Amino acid sequence: MTESTRSVSATHWLAVSAALLCGVAIAANVGKVSIMITALRDAFGLSLVEAGWLSSAINVLAVSVAVVFGLSADRIGGLRLCLAGIGFGVAGGVGSVLATSFPLLLAARVVEGAAYIAVAVSAPILLSAASRPADRRFVLGVWAAYMPAGIGLVMIAAPMLQGVGGWQAIWWFAIALLAAGGASVWWQRRHYHFAEAPAADDGALAVAREVMRQPLAWVLGLLFATWSVQHFTLIVWLPTFLRDQRGLEIGWVALLSCVMVLVNVPGNVIGGALLRRNVARGRLLVLGSGLSGVCMYAAFSPTLSDGLRYLACLGVSFIGGLIPSSILSASTVIARTSRQIGTFQGLNMQISNLGQLLGPPLLAALVASRGSWEGAVALPVGAAVAGVVLGIVAWRLERAYHSVP
């Protein structure tokens, strides 16, 4: 890291909390559509295909341009990009509320997608700026919980808000969260000193190429994609299974699904704490991938009781929290300077979103071809096995850095 990052003698926890709030807010912005897809279809008369495009617009954008946003963070500064992302999110949310047709709704969702990428690649820069070196791995490990925390929050709020003001009330809730995150970051801006833009362009592309040439960055991105396949398979499968196969009421489906998502949060926090205690990142990646694969096999097993299968779902989400916390904190190893953090986060995001984009349709194809949900178990378990192999490779590669274990 640069001298400016090393000069942070104490972690500014309010500044860390402000950046984390931005992440939670942008995650809630992402998760609101999947939760309200039925209401949106009714309100706009959407077909299944149109609803699918609305849900996947953010993933398509992330797969396409996340690295570009990472380069932008390195070039213009993480603070500016984060605030711009918050602004895009607010604009996209308001545009959605005012939309009168599917094209306008989709356009607003694309703007929200840009907001998601901007905040996701820039907030880790702010977190690194506000934390001392001894706390940085823990802070970035906790950052990995922003997505389940935000989605879980909007899941909890959705039933009550929908009853008050329909789907629009949930959009206004997300807008308020974004505004609070943006205001908090602006208030704490003095603590993000090295997250400002560099004084002059001293070779941004060369800085980015240095990240791109590191095999560990690509291995971690691919491993994150294997976890995305598992996690989003579970997010898609569990509510559908509970509703269609077990006939549970929507309230129970929402509650059980929400708990499954939220248990990923303590898993991420524990992962960050273990990294802080110098537990090898590769060990956590192999352990997380291996145990999540075992739990995923149990979750899809028709020979187990429903109670045990649900506990297995919780196990996938909880132990899987070790994976994103280990990967997203790896910028402390891969980024040689503060300006490389955004590039690494963008590369990671672009590769990992392939798992989110391809996982659900591949799962659907397996279910259709084999005639049952249980027949699709090969996809998440296969992804877990690939994650174990990639975790071993990452473990060996990181040893060569002679940095953190």
CA distance 45 to 40: 8
pLDDT at residue number 199: 47
CA distance 105 to 55: 11
**Token pair for residue 311?**
């506990």
pLDDT at residue number 354: 85
pLDDT at residue number 66: 84
- Residue found by looking up tokens 């993933």 in the block: 59
CA distance 315 to 267: 10
pLDDT at residue number 6: 45
Q: List phi, psi (to 5°) of 77.
A: 105, 140
Helices (H), 188-280: 204-212, 215-240, 250-262, 264-276
Supply the Cα-derived Rg of the chain in whole angstroms: 20
Under 8 Å between Cβ of 204 and 343: no
In whole angstroms, how far apart are CA 303 and each of 38, 296, 300, 309, 317? 32, 14, 9, 9, 21
Beta bridge partners of 77: 196
Cβ neighbours of residue 399 under 8 Å, at least 6 residues apart? 405
Low-confidence residues of the chain, pLDDT below 50? 1-6, 199, 402-405
Give the number of other Cβ atoms within 10 Å of residue 153's Cβ: 21
CA distance 240 to 242: 6
Query: pTM of this prediction?
Result: 0.83
Helix, strand, coil shares, percent, the chain, to 5: 85, 0, 15
CA distance 122 to 23: 10
Beta bridge partners of 196: 77
Under 8 Å between Cβ of 172 and 47: no
**Token pair for residue 269?**
């926090």
**Token pair for residue 325?**
């916390």
Q: Side chain identity at 231, as an amino acid letter?
A: H
Closest by alpha carbon to 56, among 377, 373, 366, 361?
361
